[in-house]
């Protein structure tokens, strides 16, 4: 790796050596997961499964692979997210294509999928609407785990819709997931009714955007993050409009930041059309999803 200390003549740039150097380098550059980053990037550069690195620790890397790895590490050292560098990210045990047009799927959002699947359990053919779908990860994970469901998913970004459509085809649910470009409910016919509405909307207060980690600030789409002055702009609109699109007994499920729970529950209570509002925690024990129903 050209800008690295070169090994002695008897040494070679093996999988092991490159991983050790990359881990140390990325740690110095501030990566919170330097070893994992290095493994994902090297597997991508070698075009092999990550597990193959462990069975080929002593394999010497070709000049082409070293060049590719060097480029990837340099970009990662500038805070570019690993998921964008390799073009995909795992979510709900599924692999999703991602570009800089969509947020990178996060484990916290799996809480939203689990809540949606729970809400759909009593239904024979549940109808789900996924707002702010981005990569389509929530809608597609739901579709893969609920084969009888019919899903509609919207996003204001046509570029995001293109990524989501690609992912639906990749996971063979394109016949059951319909995508539409539009601002929240704008692309949905007024007479439509759904049993479950999910949303992972922008919910970061505008002033807080500058406090986010560099890999988020510099690379992820601000339109998918900026929730307005108080972070509640989109959540407020969803609460106002969702009741008119829910079937009797239907469920509204929204991802939030952990400190927004009381404010969003208050929005729902003051609206007056919902019942049974609740907060669900993610795997880290933080409030992550607000749930509510309309009377059945």
138 and 273 inside one domain: yes
Three-state DSSP state, 249 = strand
Kindly state whether residue 272 falls inside one of the protein's structural domains. yes
Q: How confident is the model at residue 64, as a pLDDT?
A: 96
Kindly state whether residue 91 falls inside one of the protein's structural domains. no
Kindly state whether residue 250 falls inside one of the protein's structural domains. yes
162 and 277 inside one domain: yes
Angle at 221 between CA 178 and CA 97, to 5 degrees: 50
Structural domain count of the chain: 2
CA distance 251 to 256: 16
The DSSP symbol for 225 reads T
Kindly state whether residue 243 falls inside one of the protein's structural domains. yes
284 and 173 inside one domain: yes
CA distance 212 to 204: 9
48 and 159 inside one domain: no
Q: How confident is the model at residue 8, as a pLDDT?
A: 47
| Count of CB atoms situated within 10 Å of the CB of 296 | 8
Q: How confident is the model at residue 54, as a pLDDT?
A: 92
CB distance 184 to 153 below 8 Å: no
The DSSP symbol for 84 reads H
- Smallest CA-to-CA distance from 227 within 196, 202, 261, 246 is with 202
204 and 278 inside one domain: yes
Angle at 256 between CA 251 and CA 257, to 5 degrees: 160
Token pair listed for 177: 């997931």
Q: How confident is the model at residue 10, as a pLDDT?
A: 52
Q: How confident is the model at residue 168, as a pLDDT?
A: 98
Q: What is the pLDDT of residues 33-92, one digit of tens each?
A: 999 999 999 999 999 999 999 999 999 999 999 999 999 999 999 999 999 999 999 999
Token pair listed for 20: 């050790």
Three-state DSSP state, 94 = strand
Kindly state whether residue 4 falls inside one of the protein's structural domains. no
- Smallest CA-to-CA distance from 198 within 163, 149, 165, 159 is with 149
Kindly state whether residue 231 falls inside one of the protein's structural domains. yes
> What are all long-range contacts of 36-42, with beta carbons under 8 Å and residues at least 24 apart?
37/76, 37/82, 38/73, 40/82, 40/86, 41/69, 41/72, 41/73, 41/76, 41/82, 41/85, 41/86, 42/15, 42/18, 42/69
286 and 236 inside one domain: yes
Q: How confident is the model at residue 15, as a pLDDT?
A: 96
Q: How confident is the model at residue 1, as a pLDDT?
A: 57
Q: How confident is the model at residue 262, as a pLDDT?
A: 97
- Smallest CA-to-CA distance from 136 within 216, 200, 55 is with 200
Domain boundary among 48, 78, 108: 78
110 and 227 inside one domain: yes
Kindly state whether residue 168 falls inside one of the protein's structural domains. yes
| Count of CB atoms situated within 10 Å of the CB of 254 | 28
143 and 41 inside one domain: no
148 and 245 inside one domain: yes
CB distance 214 to 254 below 8 Å: no
CATH number of the domain at 238, please. Answer: 3.40.50.150
159 and 57 inside one domain: no
73 and 128 inside one domain: no
Strand partners, 252: 197, 292
Q: How confident is the model at residue 3, as a pLDDT?
A: 53
> What are all long-range contacts of 226-229, with beta carbons under 8 Å and residues at least 24 apart?
226/202, 227/201, 227/202, 227/203, 228/202, 229/205
Kindly state whether residue 123 falls inside one of the protein's structural domains. yes
pLDDT less than 70: residues of the chain: 1-10
Question: Which residue range forms the structural domain that includes residue 68?
Answer: 15-78
CB distance 124 to 195 below 8 Å: no
Q: How confident is the model at residue 11, as a pLDDT?
A: 78
Three-state DSSP state, 281 = strand
Instruction: Tell me the pairing of strands 287-293 and 246-255.
Output: antiparallel
255 and 164 inside one domain: yes
pTM of the model: 0.92
Query: φ, ψ for residue 288 (rounded to 5)?
Result: -135, -30
């Amino acid at each position: 790796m050209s800008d690295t200390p070169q090994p002695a003549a008897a040494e070679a740039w093996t999988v092991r050596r490159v991983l050790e150097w990359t881990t140390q380098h990325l740690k110095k550059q501030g990566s919170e997961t330097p070893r994992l980053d290095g493994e994902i990037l090297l597997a991508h550069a070698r075009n092999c499964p990550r597990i193959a690195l462990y069975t080929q620790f002593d394999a010497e890397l070709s000049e082409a692979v070293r060049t590719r790895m060097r480029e990837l590490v340099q970009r990662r050292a500038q805070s570019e997210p690993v998921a964008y560098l390799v073009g995909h990210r795992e979510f709900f045990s599924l692999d999703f294509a991602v570009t800089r047009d969509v947020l990178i799927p996060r484990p916290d959002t799996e809480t939203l999928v689990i809540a949606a699947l729970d809400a759909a359990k009593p239904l024979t053919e549940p109808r789900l609407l996924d707002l702010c779908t981005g990569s389509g990860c929530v809608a597609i994970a739901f579709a893969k785990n609920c084969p009888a469901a019919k899903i509609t998913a919207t996003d204001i970004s046509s570029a995001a819709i293109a990524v989501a459509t690609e992912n639906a085809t990749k996971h063979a649910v394109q016949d059951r997931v319909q995508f539409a470009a539009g601002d929240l409910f704008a692309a949905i016919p007024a007479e439509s009714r759904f049993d479950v509405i999910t949303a992972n909307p922008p919910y970061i207060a505008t002033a807080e955007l500058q406090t986010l980690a560099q890999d988020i600030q510099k690379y992820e789409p601000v339109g998918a993050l900026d929730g307005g002055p108080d972070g509640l702009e989109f959540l407020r609109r969803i609460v106002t409009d969702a009741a008119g699109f829910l079937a009797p007994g239907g469920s509204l499920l929204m991802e939030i930041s952990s400190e927004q729970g009381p404010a969003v529950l208050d929005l729902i209570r003051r609206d007056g059309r919902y019942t049974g509002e609740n907060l669900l925690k993610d795997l880290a024990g933080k409030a992550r999803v607000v749930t509510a129903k309309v009377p059945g």
